[in-house]
Chains A and B, each alone.
Chain A
Amino acid sequence: MRAKPWVGGRARNARLLFCFYLCYTFGMEWYTFLVFLHIVGTALGVGGATISDILFFRALKNRHLSEEGLSMLKTVSFVVWSGVGLLLISGFAFFLVYRLGLSTRLDLAFEPRFWTKMIGVLVIFANGMVMHWKSMPRLEKIAEEKGENLSSPTFRNNAAFFFTTGAISITSWYGVLLLGIWRKLDLSFSLTLSIYVAVVLGAIIAANALRRKLLKPS
């Protein structure tokens, strides 16, 4: 049977309902509750992206990706997608709360920082889809191979793709985190976006340089 890390749907729903109950009983503001959800989403996303990179490099060091290692990567991928989901829901809910007059703390939509962050979120979403569509099936094939499968031609042919999508993911997650917390950042949209694009491109170049070094035939 396929492993389901999210098993226990009823228990999870009960916990969620309990959270709503606590917020209602203790009069937590919607804004505070949404900040909580947004922080949890970011933690899951940034943490998940970091852990998946660590797992990937550990496997690379051993030159072997086991079925268990792949299963771990899939679980972490699920954690990252959960983070994306929470960020999307809480992010849109912020504007809903603002629109309904339940909070007056948000007037972000006309800030350049906010739109660069949104572009970062879109990049994370699109890159995540590409990873899910292309990386996972390729990694599944590689994990089926016995021995040092991370030295195999199948892996070498796809390595540039893995390193590039990984670099985009990690820089975008940290970029989005930074743009979210750096409230006093006062740069124009074009400059903020240029910095983001430059950092992502720099990370892609660095990751591929590292790939060449790591995969050099010994």
Chain B
Amino acid sequence: MSALLQFMLILHVLLGLSGIVFTSIVVLGLLREKPAVRMAKNAALAGFLSFALSWVSGGYYYLRYYGKAVRDGIKAGSTPWAHTVLMEAKEHIFLFLPFASLIVLVALVSLGAKLEQEKKLKNLIALLALIILLLGLGVAFAGIVISSAAGRPTRL
């Protein structure tokens, strides 16, 4: 694996994790009795940027390396489901995570201080952020299994 691909993989993991952390800050900020809208807005922006950049770096790694050098190894290995089930699910879920986090950001920016009065809207945005958080965690755990499957010996 070239240095650029290694860098992209590291970036993909770290930014994905940052996205999860920032999204959890959005959830916590919105669920407060008196919502911390400004903090949630900043965290939503950081979360969106993290997911978007993780998306780009992960996509680059997937297209340039994973499909050619890793996928077939996993499929021929002792845990082929790591690709056929987890990776297939991961790549589809991951496609819409940046867009879902963009929706949270746009909603927070456009509604702003109104959210302090509009409890229903605030809770709906918090719910969307919570769904993003859970999906992000699922994708991250799938990544752990896929990474480990890539290092496993090929099935004889």
Task: Give A contacts to B, CB under 8 Å.
Answer: 85, 88-89, 92-93, 95-96, 98-101, 104, 106-110, 118, 122, 125, 129, 132-133, 137
Contact = CB atoms under 8 A, between A and B. Distances in A.
A136 to B, nearest CB: 9
Contacts of A109: 144-145, 147-149
B17 A107 contact: no
Contact of A88 (B17, B33, B147, B148): B17
Interface of A is mostly: helix
Contacts of B67: none
B1 A100 contact: yes
A137 B29 CA distance: 12
Query: For the complex, would chain B's binding face be called helix, strand, loop or mixed by DSSP majority?
Result: helix
B151 A99 contact: yes
A100 B3 CA distance: 10
10 contacts: A88-B17, A95-B143, A95-B148, A99-B9, A99-B150, A109-B144, A110-B152, A133-B31, A137-B32, A137-B33
Nearest to A108: B148
Contacts, number: 56
A130 to B, nearest CB: 9
Contacts of A129: 24, 27-28
Contacts of B137: 122
A96 B145 CA distance: 11
A101 to B, nearest CB: 8
B140 interface: yes
Nearest to A133: B31
Contacts of B10: 96, 100
Contacts of A133: 28, 31-32
B28 A99 contact: no
Contacts of A137: 32-33
Interface string B132-156: 0000010011011101111110000
B107 interface: no
A64 B27 CA distance: 31
Given A98-B151, A100-B6, A100-B10, 5 more contacts: A88-B21, A96-B13, A98-B148, A104-B151, A109-B144
Interface in B1-21: 1, 6, 9-10, 13, 17, 21
Contacts of B24: 125, 129
A107 B21 contact: no
B79 interface: yes
A207 to B, nearest CB: 24
Nearest to B34: A137
A98 B147 contact: yes
Contacts of B150: 99
Contacts of B148: 95, 98, 106-110
Q: Which of A104, A109, A110, A118 has most B Cβ within 10 Å?
A: A109
From A108, A133, A137, residue with most partner B Cβ within 10 Å: A133
Contacts of A106: 148
Contacts of A101: 1
